[in-house]
Chains A and B, each alone.
With several copies, the nearest count.
Chain A
Amino acid sequence: MREMTYAQAIEDALAQAMTSDERVVIFGEDVQALRMNLFARFGKHRVRQTPISESAFLGAAVAAAMAGLRPVAELIMIDFVAVAADALINHAAKIEAFSGGRWQVPMVVRAGCGGGYGDGGQHEQALWGWLAHIPGIKVVAPSTPADAGGLLTAAIADDGPVVFLEHQLLSEDWLDYLGSGGRSTVSYDIPVGGRQGEVPDRWVPIKFGEAAVRRRGSDLTMAGVGVGIHRAAEAAEVLSREGISASVLDLRSVAPLDCNTVAGDVARTGRLLVVDEDYRDFGLSGELAATLLEAGLTARYARVAVEGTIPFDPVRERAALPNIERITAAARNLMK
């Protein structure tokens, strides 16, 4: 076991993948500076700088994957996928189906996501539920260093397109880059276990679609991904002091979604609280509701999610994101 930060785990897993598989190449804007260590080690052919042309390079990633490479294309932030969504939703997601299952697209799109560092509504979106709507794309959103490395390893090994979302509040690299900018005058509410933690000596892939049970309780089930799940865990602490015992399920991948674990836990607790940093409507929280109903469960249900464009003002930003007060309030309400 080693101890690493979230950002280090990602870089380490990438380096391991690049060492063991020559076909893995990474590209994106500024990668030679942002991934300086990988650039120094693997050189300019495998760590490629792109122009600010997301449509072109995401589209290129699709075809490069089809032709034998294993590209890891970096979008600085998932918000920017909007300028290049076509490559992902009309191509990467569909080509295996179009080709009658004969041609696959083993690519990874790596992007920062999530708020809490004060950058405003065009730079802090989560969008995992949005991407997961399209059949043919897998979407993962790790919440710990160990998961980050293991899921990235799995993503690179996967034969289909995977969107790998790294939370900007968990990654010290992104946070230094986008948030503090070297200032000591600012601080962020960073979940400790998300930022730093134990990781295996050698990365082994973590299977998609298997939730991690972070805590097992008897009164209600909380489920989510990313920073939200850390907030849920904190809230569970508070709630336990009030005599409310909550499970915390880290879904880890949004697509595929581990419906069984959620349904199994909710069957015990009778209550589901979804904690989601993505938009509330037509997303992860709704999908979880559907899976409950499909499983024939009757449960009390609530969701704490983002309800509108995330405001810039850090106070309202915090209020817009799932925070401990909103989560505990919703949980208490479910217990009524």
Chain B
Amino acid sequence: MKPDSVALYRKMLTCRRVEEAIAGLWYEGRISGEMHLGIGEEGINAGVLDHLGDGDAVALDHRGTAGMVLRGVDPAAIVKECMGSVDGLCCGNGGHMHLFSKQHLAASSGIVGAAGPAACGFALAAQQLRPGTVAVAFFGEGAMNQGMLMEAMNLATAWDLPVLFVCRDNGMAITTASASVTGGDLQMRARGLGVSGRSVDGADAEMVWRVAGELIDRARRGRGPAFLRATCTRPEGHFLGDPLVRMARSPLAQLKPRLGPLVAAARSAEGAPMAQRVASLGKITSMLGRAVRTELGPAHDPVRRLRKRLTITSEALVKLEHEVEGIVKDAVDKALTSETANEKESSRCGK
């Protein structure tokens, strides 16, 4: 199997641009609350979801915007939803962590790990009502420590469900390096739950595509669940405005005000032995260092990587990219118009 790399690139670029647009709106204050984006994960999202068709289902986590785009949901409806518009995908009731499209059998959840059980339920319905269809769960490596997700893998084995469990492994769960709180090895853990699988570099979209294709195909043919672990890099940290990223990027404005209290705390008369305090400061420093270092270099950016490998003419590429920009601009324009039309000025946070 070989992907249509141009089409794949187009999808990935669409995700990237939609999410960048959402980021812009968020920074402008037109979107309230948290904002978790999948920038840096396009290779995984597109490489997997390219294999789905009608009747297939997807369970997404808090980072589900790209998944919805890739399943074919109108980007304008997604952007509007993020802005809380009544004509958004969920009438503005859900927001970016709670995107739902019944038509696409695509659901999300802000509860870490919930995608596992949800995918099992979708797969059960697939097995009974739509043989040959599958369900895919997306979640992070941090979610692998959530009981319900482990239970779900085991349930999928027990019921022989057509599920692909996709773990987007960026190594971090908010500020926690997942390796520091995760025992064993994720592949072994999955196998200990009866689910075997593969690990891939998620920045290599074509590779993800090939491996996911095999695993999904297997599930479609009734050969049970599979596990795909794909690594990735997320330049914006956990969410937009991630405090570690802010401190790392604007040490003067963001870090300095915290240093005083931090040093004072570390120096207090009472507390742990000094060696431990020093160790804590060391860990905090390395947390910040990691945030500084995490950037989407050419090797880690799935979009740039795939672009380089395309074999179309540069005219065709420019045209494609232009089209994508157009689609995204259009979606944002629609969202902004609808914001005004609905007199939703007041929907900006706190007004």
On whether A and B touch (CB less than 8 Å), the answer reads yes
A interface residues (Cβ-Cβ under 8 A, vs B): 15, 19, 23, 25, 29-30, 32-34, 36-69, 71, 79-80, 82-84, 86-87, 90-91, 94-95, 97-103, 117-123, 176-183, 185-189, 309, 311-316
The yes or no answer to B132 lying at the interface (CB within 8 A) is no
A166-B283 Cα distance, complex, nearest whole Å = 27
A103-B105 Cα distance, complex, nearest whole Å = 10
- Selected interface stretch from B45-53, B208-216, B219-227, B265-273: B265-273
A210-B263 Cα distance, complex, nearest whole Å = 38
A121-B118 Cα distance, complex, nearest whole Å = 18
> In the bound complex, do residue B27 and residue A99 qualify as a contact, i.e. CB atoms below 8 Å apart?
no
Within 8 Å CB of A87, what residues of B?
Answer: 114, 117, 148
A314-B100 Cα distance, complex, nearest whole Å = 19
> In the bound complex, do residue B271 and residue A23 qualify as a contact, i.e. CB atoms below 8 Å apart?
no
The yes or no answer to B116 lying at the interface (CB within 8 A) is yes
> In the bound complex, do residue A59 and residue B120 qualify as a contact, i.e. CB atoms below 8 Å apart?
yes
Give min CB distance, B222 to chain A, whole Å: 13
The yes or no answer to B317 lying at the interface (CB within 8 A) is no
A178-B242 Cα distance, complex, nearest whole Å = 9
A50-B181 Cα distance, complex, nearest whole Å = 6
A41-B325 Cα distance, complex, nearest whole Å = 50
> In the bound complex, do residue B273 and residue A43 qualify as a contact, i.e. CB atoms below 8 Å apart?
yes
> In the bound complex, do residue A99 and residue B33 qualify as a contact, i.e. CB atoms below 8 Å apart?
no
Which of A63, A119, A121, A311 contacts B117, CB < 8 Å? A63
A188-B33 Cα distance, complex, nearest whole Å = 11
Chain B residue at smallest Cβ distance from A48: B159
The yes or no answer to B142 lying at the interface (CB within 8 A) is yes
> In the bound complex, do residue A120 and residue B97 qualify as a contact, i.e. CB atoms below 8 Å apart?
yes
Which of A34, A41, A60 contacts B266, CB < 8 Å? A41
> In the bound complex, do residue B93 and residue A32 qualify as a contact, i.e. CB atoms below 8 Å apart?
no
> In the bound complex, do residue A29 and residue B174 qualify as a contact, i.e. CB atoms below 8 Å apart?
yes
Within 8 Å CB of B124, what residues of A?
Answer: 25, 60, 63-64, 67, 69, 71
> In the bound complex, do residue B145 and residue A179 qualify as a contact, i.e. CB atoms below 8 Å apart?
no
> In the bound complex, do residue B98 and residue A182 qualify as a contact, i.e. CB atoms below 8 Å apart?
no
* Given A63-B118, A99-B90, A23:B276 Cβ within 8 A: no
Give min CB distance, A14 to chain B, whole Å: 11
Give min CB distance, B74 to chain A, whole Å: 14
The yes or no answer to B121 lying at the interface (CB within 8 A) is yes
A55-B146 Cα distance, complex, nearest whole Å = 8
Can you list 25 contacts pairing A with B, beta carbon distance less than 8 Å? Answer: A25-B124, A30-B175, A33-B243, A33-B287, A39-B283, A40-B265, A46-B272, A52-B113, A56-B120, A56-B154, A60-B152, A62-B121, A63-B107, A63-B117, A67-B124, A69-B128, A69-B129, A83-B148, A99-B94, A117-B33, A120-B33, A122-B110, A179-B33, A181-B241, A314-B351
> In the bound complex, do residue A80 and residue B121 qualify as a contact, i.e. CB atoms below 8 Å apart?
no
> In the bound complex, do residue B143 and residue A52 qualify as a contact, i.e. CB atoms below 8 Å apart?
yes
A45-B159 Cα distance, complex, nearest whole Å = 9
A54-B176 Cα distance, complex, nearest whole Å = 15
* Given A39-B284, A67-B126, A90-B111, A60:B155 Cβ within 8 A: yes
Give min CB distance, B147 to chain A, whole Å: 5
- Having A57-B117, A118-B95, A316-B84, one finds 19 other A-B pairs with CB under 8 Å, namely A30-B176, A33-B284, A34-B175, A37-B264, A38-B265, A44-B279, A49-B158, A51-B145, A52-B112, A59-B120, A59-B148, A60-B117, A67-B125, A67-B129, A100-B93, A122-B109, A312-B93, A314-B350, A316-B93
A186-B241 Cα distance, complex, nearest whole Å = 13
B interface residues (Cβ-Cβ under 8 A, vs A): 26-29, 32-35, 57, 59, 81, 84-86, 88-95, 97-98, 100, 102, 105, 107, 109-114, 116-122, 124-129, 135, 142-143, 145-148, 151-152, 154-155, 158-159, 173-176, 178, 180-182, 239-244, 246, 254, 258, 261-266, 268, 270-273, 276-277, 279-281, 283-284, 287, 344, 346-351
A55-B98 Cα distance, complex, nearest whole Å = 20
> In the bound complex, do residue A43 and residue B279 qualify as a contact, i.e. CB atoms below 8 Å apart?
yes
A23-B129 Cα distance, complex, nearest whole Å = 8
> In the bound complex, do residue B243 and residue A182 qualify as a contact, i.e. CB atoms below 8 Å apart?
yes
> In the bound complex, do residue B147 and residue A55 qualify as a contact, i.e. CB atoms below 8 Å apart?
yes
Give min CB distance, A25 to chain B, whole Å: 7
Within 8 Å CB of A59, what residues of B?
Answer: 114, 116-118, 120-121, 148, 152
> In the bound complex, do residue B98 and residue A120 qualify as a contact, i.e. CB atoms below 8 Å apart?
yes
Residue among A56, A66, A186 with most chain B CB within 10 A: A56
A122-B96 Cα distance, complex, nearest whole Å = 12
* Given A42-B272, A43-B279, A60-B152, A67:B57 Cβ within 8 A: yes
Give min CB distance, B2 to chain A, whole Å: 31
> In the bound complex, do residue A182 and residue B90 qualify as a contact, i.e. CB atoms below 8 Å apart?
no
Give min CB distance, B244 to chain A, whole Å: 7
A87-B86 Cα distance, complex, nearest whole Å = 26
Which of B32, B182, B344 contacts A51, CB < 8 Å? B182
A29-B238 Cα distance, complex, nearest whole Å = 14
> In the bound complex, do residue A51 and residue B151 qualify as a contact, i.e. CB atoms below 8 Å apart?
yes
* Given A56-B152, A117-B349, A45:B117 Cβ within 8 A: no
> In the bound complex, do residue A49 and residue B32 qualify as a contact, i.e. CB atoms below 8 Å apart?
no
Within 8 Å CB of A84, what residues of B?
Answer: 148
Give min CB distance, A171 to chain B, whole Å: 14
> In the bound complex, do residue A32 and residue B280 qualify as a contact, i.e. CB atoms below 8 Å apart?
yes
Which of B173, B242, B344 contacts A181, CB < 8 Å? B242
Which of B27, B91, B158, B350 contacts A189, CB < 8 Å? B350
Chain A residue at smallest Cβ distance from B283: A32
> In the bound complex, do residue A314 and residue B348 qualify as a contact, i.e. CB atoms below 8 Å apart?
yes
